[in-house]
Amino acid sequence: METKKKQFNLKMIIAAICALVLCVGVFAVVYSKFGPESKTTKGGKSIAIEVVGKDGKTSSYKLDTDAKFLKEAMDELVKATKDKSGDKKFTYSGSTSTYGLYIEKVNDVEANYDKDKAYWAIYVKEAPDKDFAYGQFGADQQPVTDKATYKFVYEKSEN
Amino acid sequence: MGILLAVLFACKRILEFLPNIELVTLLLIVYAYVFGKKTYIISVCFTILETFVWGVHNWVIMYLYIWPLLITVVLLTRRWAGYVFYTVLSGFYGLFFGLLCSIPYYFIGGIRMQLTWWIAGIPFDIIHCVSNFIIALVLYKPVLAVCKKAKIIMEGNID
């Protein structure tokens, strides 16, 4: 009787551990199918980056890139426009936390949430015939796709 | 209770530099197993202390249901469950932590926002699962022994 109980317990333990491993596998598959990595494509991509500043003025940039995520494309754009001036030059800075990259400055315009509840919002237009949608990822997790437009908009929270 | 809370809080702060590697899950499991319903008070005080350190954010809401939920599971199972069950539970809890945390995002931005937020964090949930499992596997028994001894001392049943 005691041996049977032990065998049953052992089976339960093995089943529980198998279930845990199986769940990890399922989660990994979900991530690979639907996670940010899955939306990236390799190869030459033509994208546009727009910046709508505090004054509502828009600066537009075109970029051919192999970047997988927006941050990489932004870094390339910073390099590509470093010798330019005015609204042809693109710059940004931010801080990294466990939540990812938090953009604080774009084109030398600072959005300070603590001071005036301002922040840089990211909007994404995945194709020329689509509308802009509020970005679901931070710049370091936003996938870069061909013919997409990424717009940084200076916004203030109403709360 | 104060000492238990201090240990919990100190362990959380010490391991903060490692993403999703924590002793809070294990300690709350053991506390709930040994000290019962009083652990709810510890978990709420822990959330308040964390809020003093990090400020009010979405995670405060998450902490207010995530940890009490874990305690409830332990209270419902502690009559028959033991080392292996809680080690596996610890792993599952780490794995499903992101999914549980994503619930407030359903009310903020709908199911799409909730799922996007959850899926983007799956790699961290897998780290959380593996680390929780290993931590419980190694530390459950010694921590349980110490807590049982502490309970005997607290109740004044020691010579």
Helix (H) or strand (E) holding A93: strand A92-97
From CA A114, how far away is CA B88, in angstroms rounded? 42
Mind telling me how many Å the CA of A61 is from chain B's nearest CA? 28
For chain A, how big is the Rg over CA atoms in Å?
Answer: 23
Cβ contact, residue pair A20, B133, below 8 Å: yes
- Structure-token pair, residue A142: 């936003």
Q: Of the ranges A88-92, B10-14, B72-76, which is most confident?
A: B72-76
Residues A55-83: pLDDT tens digits?
A: 888 999 999 888 888 999 999 999 988 88
Q: Which residue of A has its CA nearest to B80?
A: A9
Q: Is the pTM of this model over 0.80?
A: no
| pLDDT, position A1 | 58
Task: Report yes or no: A26 at the B interface, CB cutoff 8 Å.
Answer: no
Residues in a beta bridge with A52: A58, A153
* HSE of B86, CA atoms in CB hemisphere, 13 A: 32
Cβ contact, residue pair B133, A98, below 8 Å: no
Residues A114-125: pLDDT tens digits?
A: 888 899 999 999
Whether the per-residue pLDDT at A38 is higher than 60: the answer is yes
From CA A54, how far away is CA B84, in angstroms rounded? 57
Task: Report yes or no: A13 at the B interface, CB cutoff 8 Å.
Answer: yes
ipTM of the complex: 0.78
Task: Report yes or no: A141 at the B interface, CB cutoff 8 Å.
Answer: yes
Residues B18-52: pLDDT tens digits?
A: 878 889 999 999 999 999 999 999 999 999 998 88
From CA B96, how far away is CA A105, in angstroms rounded? 35
Whether the per-residue pLDDT at B93 is higher than 80: the answer is yes
| pLDDT, position B20 | 82
Q: Which residue of B has its CA nearest to A11?
A: B84
Integer angstrom CA distances of residue A159 from A99, A118, A156, B54, B88: 22, 11, 9, 20, 43
